[in-house]
Amino acid sequence: MPGLEKNRIYRAHIDGYSSEGLGIARIDGQVVFVHGAIRGEICDVLVMKVLKNAAFGKIAALVEPSPARRTPDCPYYGRCGGCDFRHMSYEEELWAKRARVQDALTRIGGAEVTVEEILGAEQPLHYRNKSIYPISPVGEVGFYRARSHQVVNVEHCLIQKPEADALAQAVRDYIARFQVEPYNEATGRGLLRHLYVRTGSTGESLVCLLVNGSRLPHEQELVNMLRAAAPKTCGVVLGENTRRGNAILGDRYRTLWGRDYLTDTLCGLELRLSVPSFYQVNHDQAQRLYEKALEYAGLTGRELAVDLYCGAGTITQVLARRARHVIGGEIVPEAIRDAEESARRNGVGNVEFLCGDASRLAAELRQRGLRPDVICVDPPRKGLAPDVVEAAASMEPERIVYVSCDPATLARDVARFAPLGYRPVRACAVDLFPGTANVETVCLLTKRPD
């Protein structure tokens, strides 16, 4: 059978979506990923790249458009790589995300569990409470194009908070006014690398400038410009990052003005959040996520629970409401400090926090002979290291609650838990990231009867 030809147009039916939100078609038996296509559409597809097992194309003509197709509401859509689904209805986006989680658990994880539902957002706009803007060598402040490090200058983003947009404009003005040299990845020269903004539910913002050095010129003027742009700013911090490459957060922090932390309220808890502390980016959806995790944990007040990758201690304190005792573990020292302070403020006394790598902490808890009833994990996108999987299973908890931001690594770890006696019995998708292809999942694993 002859293969597909590059630069040739083929008629195709769109069957579904890839993990990156691309439409999937099958042309002459070969999988073709089609940019901007929607399930159910018939398109004339221009094949742009042909690989051994797949091809990539774009729509040359829409023959039969989907009723779910929408005119993108963002002028940067197609240039900025932040959003994937602004060309379709929110209902179709939710369908795609739930299908992505189900496909991963079935195909990669080998699991028979059915994804119960997807919890969509009531407010799919301006939900991000953490904004990280890369700064280009010529002073553009925005977001990367898809699969590149080319910065698109974005003045108004539909998923960021207005305070973050205003602070980004203040940084543009500061660069232009004082001729500050932004960082250049290629040469390793320049100062300003990223603008980091964390905004709480009351509108307060914590600002951090990540720099290739220890100082910025005209720091007081910069502080004044930032406070004028967002009057409810509570602190301005400078983070030192002198490493080559595209790493974001720094190794040391210095407060230029105000506080080096933000306070926010989530699930009825007052939380202290410094720059390095992990905190879910969607406040309202995070509450629904943690409520589902608490439901899956099945706590009655008698249990010992362990919360690995605890970040600022949010899930730890939520679990503590119904557990006898909860141990939270986190590798970032600043996050542990935030978690301990938050627990003290909230009067949560049945928790303890340990600082260290999840692999080491899991092994340490196992050596202490602890037998937690529930282990909760909320790892970064790369998922669990194999030794964390083994250590967690070796403590023989009744339930493992796995919170994941990547269905593929979740499914991989589900497959790793299987020979250790654990199988998924419940799963729920939660849309923390409207407009993008990302989706959060809560999965409950229980020990399989012998």
* In contact, 430 and 442? CB cutoff 8 Å: yes
Q: What is the DSSP string of 221-289?
A: HHHHHHHHHSTTEEEEEEEE---SSS--S-SEEEEEEE-SEEEEEETTEEEEEETTS---SBHHHHHHH
* Strands 142-144, 130-134: pairing kind: unpaired
Q: β-strands 269-274, 351-355: how paired?
A: unpaired
330 is an annotated ligand-binding site residue: yes
- Measuring CA to CA, which residue among 128, 124, 123 is closest to residue 143? 128
Number of Cβ within a 10 Å radius of residue 59: 20
Catalytic residue among 83, 310, 376, 405: 405
- Measured CA to CA, the distance from residue 438 to residue 405 in angstroms comes to 7
Spacing of C-alpha 428 from chain mean position: 17
Is 150 known as a binding-site position? no
Q: Is 258 in contact with 236 (CB distance < 8 Å)?
A: yes
Q: Are 348 and 327 in contact (CB under 8 A)?
A: no
C-beta separation of 439 from 119 below 8 A: no
If residue 350 lies in a helix (H) or strand (E), which one and from where to where? Answer: none
Helices and strands, counts by H and E, the chain: 9, 22
Place of tokens 């959060």: 440
Q: Distance between CA atoms of 187 and 172, rounded to whole angstroms?
A: 21
Asked if 353 and 313 count as a contact pair (C-beta separation under 8 A), the reply is yes
Q: How far apart are CA 51 and CA 66, in angstroms?
A: 28
Per-residue burial over 198-217, b = 16 or more CB atoms within 10 Å of its CB, e = otherwise: bbbeeebbbbbbbbbeeebe
405 is catalytic: yes
**Rounded-to-10 torsion of CA 118, 412, 358, 436:** -40
Is 221 marked as binding a ligand?
no
261 annotated binding-site participant: no
Output the six-digit token pair for 168. Answer: 């980004």
Q: Residue 385's Cα: distance from chain center in Å?
A: 18
Dihedral, CA of residue 387, residue 391, residue 394 and residue 395, to nearest 10: -170
Q: How does strand 30-35 pair with strand 54-64?
A: parallel
Residue at 433: amino acid letter: F
Q: Provide the annotated binding site.
A: 280, 309, 330, 378
Catalytic residues: 405
Q: Provide the annotated binding site for S-adenosyl-L-methionine.
A: 280, 309, 330, 378
